[in-house]
Amino acid sequence: MPVIESLPHFLYATPKTIDSVVGLNPNEAEHTSYVDIEPWTGFFLQTSKKLQINIFTEQVSDFKQTDGIKTSYFPIFWLNEKTALNEIHAGMLTESLFTPIENAEKLKEKLLMIKYLLMSLSSFLILLTVAVWILDSFICHHGKKDNIHHEDPSTPCLKTSSITYNKVKVLSDGYQRLTT
């Protein structure tokens, strides 16, 4: 007699096979096998293997003893093996894997905030530099504010101290003399 393996209660079998044995009620929630895997490590969190062993029976014309036997699959027994991660190992997995990942995510968020803060600060400084440059250009070329007169257009207009310089003279030795 051939031995045949199937899911319990002939789950996913043809209706003819299920109806060949009285009392079978296939239920997907109760009779399927599954494996729950943690995706980062490949660690098994839960497993369930369900298996039914059957004997194939049929009438054999050479044996009169099999005259009353109909062709069917006769269940002998079924297995239900389960494993699950216990609380101790689940805590170890959480502590060694998920806590560092959460900390890295928090650090990433803080670094992102610092990045945007630095970008904002640098944008402000660039705008401030452009504004000072435009203001200086306007004062040097369009107005005579603070009685600043430049005889030489290549003379810089920006003041570097609180003293107002009226003239900049380049001497023959290369030094500059500032006169107030």
Residues 81, 9: one domain? Answer: yes
pLDDT of res. 51:
95
Domain co-membership, 67 together with 8: yes
Structure tokens at 20: 């060949």
Whether 138 and 157 map to the same domain: the answer is no
Q: Is 137 found in the same domain as 98?
A: yes
- The per-residue pLDDT for 161 is 46
Residues 81 and 99 in one domain: no
Statement to judge: residues 81 and 36 lie in one domain: yes
- Predicted TM-score of the model (pTM): 0.49
State the maximum Cα–Cα separation within the chain, in Å, rounded to a whole number. Answer: 134
Kindly state whether residues 153 and 122 are assigned to the same domain.
Answer: no
Query: Based on the domain organization, do 107 and 136 belong to the same domain?
Result: yes
Range of the domain at 25: 3-85
In which residue are the tokens 């170890």 written? 92
Q: How many domains does the chain have?
A: 3
Give residue 157's pLDDT. 58
- Structure tokens given for 23: 């009392």
Q: Are residues 41 and 78 in the same domain?
A: yes
Q: Report the alpha-carbon distance of residue 31 to residue 13 in Å, rounded.
A: 12
pLDDT at 162: 47
At 45, the amino acid letter reads L
User: What is the residue-level pLDDT of the chain in tens, covering all 180 positions?
Assistant: 789 999 999 999 999 888 888 888 999 999 999 999 988 888 889 999 999 999 988 888 888 888 888 888 889 999 999 999 898 988 888 888 888 889 999 999 999 999 999 999 999 999 999 999 888 888 776 655 455 555 555 555 554 444 555 565 556 665 555 555
- What integer pLDDT is reported at residue 100 of this predicted model? 87
77 and 125 share one domain: no
For position 177, what pLDDT does the model report?
Answer: 57
Residues 73 and 95 in one domain: no
Q: Check whether residue 14 and residue 72 sit in a common domain.
A: yes
